[in-house]
Chains A and B, each alone.
Chain A
Amino acid sequence: MSQETATYRRIQRRELHSSRSATAIVVAAVVVIALAYIATETVLALAGQPPLLVSPTDMGEGIAGVAAVDTGILIAAGVVVALIGLVLVISAIAPGRRARRVIESEKTAVVVDNEVIASALARHAARAGRVSPDSVRVSVSHRAAVVDLTPASGMAVDKDAVLAAVQAELDTLGLSPALTPRVTISSHGKVGA
Chain B
Amino acid sequence: MNNTNRAANRTLILVIGLVLLVVGAAAAVLGVVSDYRDAFTSVAPSVQQNVADFMDGAPLAGTVTWWHIAALALIVLVVVLLVIFIFRQGHGHTGRFVRDNKTATGETIIDSRVAEQLMLESLTDRPELVSCRVTTYLVKDTPVLKVSALARRGVSPVAIVTLVEDRLAALDQLLGSHVLASVHVSGGFRVKASSSTRL
Question: A21-B89, A92-B14 are contacts. A31–B82 as well, Cβ < 8 Å?
Answer: yes
Task: Check B153–A119 contact: CB distance below 8 A.
Answer: yes
A79 touching B28 in the complex, CB below 8 Å, given contacts A38-B75, A87-B17: yes
Contact B13 A173 (CB under 8 A): no
A25 within 8 A of B: yes
In the bound complex, CA of A110 to CA of B78 (Å)? 40
- The answer to whether B1 and A14 touch across the interface, beta carbons within 8 angstroms, is yes
Tell me whether A161 is interfacial, beta carbon within 8 Å.
no
- Contact yes or no, A46 B63, CB < 8 A: yes
Of A57, A66, A77, most B-chain CB atoms within 10 Å: A66
What mask results when residues 72 to 86 of chain A are scored 1 for a CB within 8 Å of chain B, else 0?
111101111111111
Report how far A28 CA is from B6 CA in the complex, Å: 14
A11 engages B9 (CB within 8 Å): no
Given the known inter-chain contacts A21-B9, A112-B157, A119-B151, please indicate yes or no for A4 contacting B31, CB distance below 8 A.
no
Whether A111 and B44, one on each chain, are in contact in the complex, defined by CB atoms closer than 8 angstroms, is: no
Alpha-carbon distance between A105 and B182 when the two chains are bound, in angstroms = 10
Q: Indicate if B196 sits at the interface (CB-CB under 8 A).
A: yes
Q: Are A111 and B182 in contact (CB under 8 A)?
A: yes
**A contacts with B: majority SS:** helix
A10 touches B139 (CB 8 A): yes
- Say yes or no: is A156 at the interface (Cβ < 8 Å to chain B): no
**Chain B residues within 8 Å of A25, by CB:** 86, 89
Question: A108 to B4, Cβ gap below 8 A?
Answer: no
**Cβ distance B158 to chain A, nearest Cβ, rounded Å:** 6
A88 interfacial by beta-carbon distance below 8 Å: yes
A120-B139 CB under 8 A given contacts A66-B30, A78-B24: no
Q: Which residues on the A side are within 8 Å of B157 (C-beta)? A: 103, 110, 112, 116-117, 120, 173
Would you call B25 an interface residue if the criterion is a C-beta within 8 Å of the partner chain's C-beta atoms? yes
- Residue on B nearest A69 in the bound complex, by CB: B31
In the complex, chain A residues whose CB is within 8 Å of the CB of B48: 60-61, 63-64
Number of residues on chain A facing chain B (CB within 8 A): 86
Query: Is the Cβ of A119 less than 8 Å from the Cβ of B182?
Result: no
Chain A, range 1-46, C-beta contacts under 8 Å to B: 3-4, 6-8, 10-12, 14-15, 17, 19-21, 23-25, 27-29, 31-32, 35-36, 38-39, 42-43, 46
Residue of B nearest to A114 (CB): B187
Whether A89 sits at the interface, judged by CB under 8 Å, is yes
In the complex, A77 Cα to B63 Cα: how many Å? 35
A85 pairs with B13, CB closer than 8 A = no
Cα of A42 to Cα of B75 in the assembled complex, Å: 11
Give CA–CA (A115, B27) in the complex, Å. Answer: 45
Taking a contact as CB atoms under 8 Å apart, the answer to whether A28 and B75 are in contact is no
Establish whether residues A119 and B191, one from each chain, have CB atoms under 8 Å apart when the complex forms. yes
Closest 10 CB pairs of A and B: A88-B17, A82-B24, A85-B20, A78-B28, A81-B24, A85-B21, A78-B27, A74-B31, A123-B154, A75-B31
Q: List B residues at the A interface (Cβ < 8 Å).
A: 1-2, 4, 6, 8-14, 16-32, 37, 40-41, 44-45, 47-48, 51-52, 63-64, 68, 71-72, 75-76, 78-79, 82-83, 85-86, 89-90, 139-140, 142, 144, 151, 153-158, 161, 164-165, 168-169, 180-188, 191, 196, 198
Add 18 more A-B contacts to A11-B144, A39-B76 (CB < 8 A).
A11-B1, A12-B182, A23-B13, A32-B83, A39-B75, A75-B32, A82-B20, A82-B28, A85-B22, A87-B17, A92-B11, A92-B13, A105-B165, A108-B161, A111-B183, A116-B187, A123-B153, A169-B156
- 7 contacts across the A-B interface (CB closer than 8 A): A63-B44, A78-B25, A84-B24, A92-B17, A116-B185, A133-B196, A192-B198
